[in-house]
Structure 1
């Protein structure tokens, strides 16, 4: 199998005491703040296999919240999902690793254009996971960043949190039905209440950690 090269950062740029960093998407819709939080000198391109269990680095994930008229698109990962450490968990985040071969946008000086690369990855993942084109939603807005350490998955990943507003509800359709299920639009408060119930009853479908942090801390 051909090696997959993905985008990551050095782990030392993230503060574990402040796992969620918020941006003002109205003042900074294109996310210029991204390059301040993730400077070029801290970017790393490496084989995914090498990064999966090495907390010296954090794999970058565009983590996209899909909304429509005040509701958030949620789903649950099945046992067949690629990242087995998240199997059974519910989520409000769409997206995946930044694949250098598919997503990288380069500046004329040979450096990586980070924001364009992240937006390209966002568009690709929404197309692959939900069958959407860029015409189906407004331009992505950067909400902030997330990099916790509460689980083994958290320790090797950092998320750039974005949001997109759909133009039509009926456009979405899960393409990987064997990996993702229970697609639904819910209000933010209903998602939070459902997660509290799942945790109280030890339901394995509780929210994954990033989704919980965002639902509890960010008004979407």
Structure 2
């Protein structure tokens, strides 16, 4: 999703994340964290320009990995992708910020779920059935980008590897065997590296 100067995005207090138990990397207990973080009293919408360098807030980002059998969908982030600090990095995750327009006056899981499904529909054309499930959370405080974002990882298991990009920002896209990801791990953004490690562990 491309960034807008007046975009207002969903954030949660980093202090609440600390209370639940801050971690580095991938964590499988996504249900417990989201149940607390996405309570209306913990969520707010703030101008994206004001929170991009504020580690006291975590921007919640749906991050959907499209998997078909032993292959996953990969792409290179282009200039139309909203986070300039990640341009030219390879990625496994499709998704973006939860915008206030997704909420229609709501704060919480419903707004989050609406945003996730909108991002999927905007960024890719999935040509076949599949099953979408929550896989866990990603946190990376080792980079300026990661310190202000919290990734919510979903695995979308597709019957067939038939996915095409709708946005120019998803360049060089296609399905890659999971077994080949380890050798190319350094080309990927940090969140995707964590996903690669988890997928390889499962395999």
Instruction: Report the TM-score, using the length of structure 2 for normalisation.
Output: 0.84
- Asked if 1:51 is matched to 2:51, the reply is yes
1:207 aligned partner: 188
- 1:75 to 2:75 alignment: yes
Q: Give the equivalent residue in structure 2 for 1:96.
A: 96
Contact 2:62 2:153 in 1 (8 A): yes
More strand by share: 2
Q: What does 1:111-150 correspond to in 2, within 5 Å?
A: 112-114=107-109, 116-132=110-126, 136-150=128-142
**Change over 3 Å in CA distance of 1:148–1:38 after alignment to 2:** farther
Structure 1 gap ranges (5+) = 25-30, 200-205
Post-superposition Cα deviations, 1:78-101, rounded to whole Å, max 9, x if no partner, equal: 345331100110010110000121
Q: Is this contact kept in 1: 2:12–2:43, CA < 8 A?
A: yes
Offset of 1:105 from its aligned partner? 6.4
What secondary structure, in the 3-state scheme, does the structure 2 residue paired with 1:119 have?
A: helix
Alpha carbons of structure 1 residues 19 and 44: separation in structure 2 relative to 1, 3 Å: farther
> Match of 2:13?
10
1:210 Cα offset (Å)? 0.4
User: Are 2:161 and 1:169 equivalent residues in the alignment?
Assistant: yes
Q: Residue 174 of structure 1: CA displacement?
A: 1.1
Tell me, yes or no, if the aligned pair for 1:6 and 1:100 is still in contact at 8 Å. Answer: yes
Conserved 8 A contact 1:95-1:122: yes
Asked whether the 8 Å contact 2:5–2:48 carries over to 1, the reply is: no
Return the alpha-carbon distance in structure 2 between the equivalents of residues 82 and 58 of structure 1.
17
- Rounded to whole Å, the distance in 1 between the matches of 2:44 and 2:80 is 29
Which TM-score applies when normalising by structure 1?
0.78
CA RMSD in angstroms, aligned pairs only: 2.5
1 CA distance for matches of 2:108 and 2:38? 12
Matched, 1:160 2:129: no
Over 3 Å off, 4+ runs:
14-19, 36-41
1:144 deviates by 0.7
**Highest Rg: 1 or 2?**
1
